[in-house]
Amino acid sequence: MRKKIKYISATVLTLLLSFSISAQQGEVNVDQDSDIDKLLEYKKDIKTSKVYKIQVYQSTDPDKADREKSNFLNTYNEWPVEIVWNTPNYKVWVGNFATRLEADRALVKIKKEYMYALIFQPKLEKE
């Protein structure tokens, strides 16, 4: 009985070794549409154009939003400020921060006066 087990084990081991030794080698050629390269470049451009903003105020009244923009500029004049109408609110957005870290640092300063301020990434407009 032991001889049979040794024989079967040796046979299985030999078969496994012969399969791994005779591995095939080959060459793969990828034929793809040239538009794929254009899409990859477009995607790369989108990734690098990420922008972070901070929303400091929102209101349905455009005059209140304008006053808050002026108040913000009197307190902090180091970042660009804009009012954006996003149905049904007028929102006061601050900055064009290239990285999340840069936006976080600005948010720490801004939160002293605007406790409800928040960081976000605006959706890119479709052309």
CATH of the domain at 97: 3.30.70.1070
Decide: residue 84, CB within 10 A, 0-12 exposed, 13-18 middle, 19+ buried: middle
The pTM is what?
0.60
- Does residue 25 lie within any of the structural domains? no
Q: What is the pLDDT of residue 38?
A: 79
Nearest to 79 by CA among 52, 116, 45, 47: 52
Q: Please enumerate in sequence order all residues whose Cβ is within 8 A of that of 97, keeping only pairs 6 or more positions apart, or say none.
A: 51, 52, 53, 54, 103, 106
- Does residue 107 lie within any of the structural domains? yes
Total number of domains in the chain: 1
Q: What is the pLDDT of residue 127?
A: 45
Residue 28, phi then psi, degrees to nearest 5: -110, 130
Average pLDDT per consecutive 10 residues, the chain (127 residues; last block may be shorter)? 78 68 73 80 63 96 97 94 95 95 97 96 71
- SS3 (DSSP) at 109: helix
- Does residue 10 lie within any of the structural domains? no
Residue 117 CA neighbour count, 13 Å, CB half: 23
Residue span of the structural domain in which 80 resides:
50-120
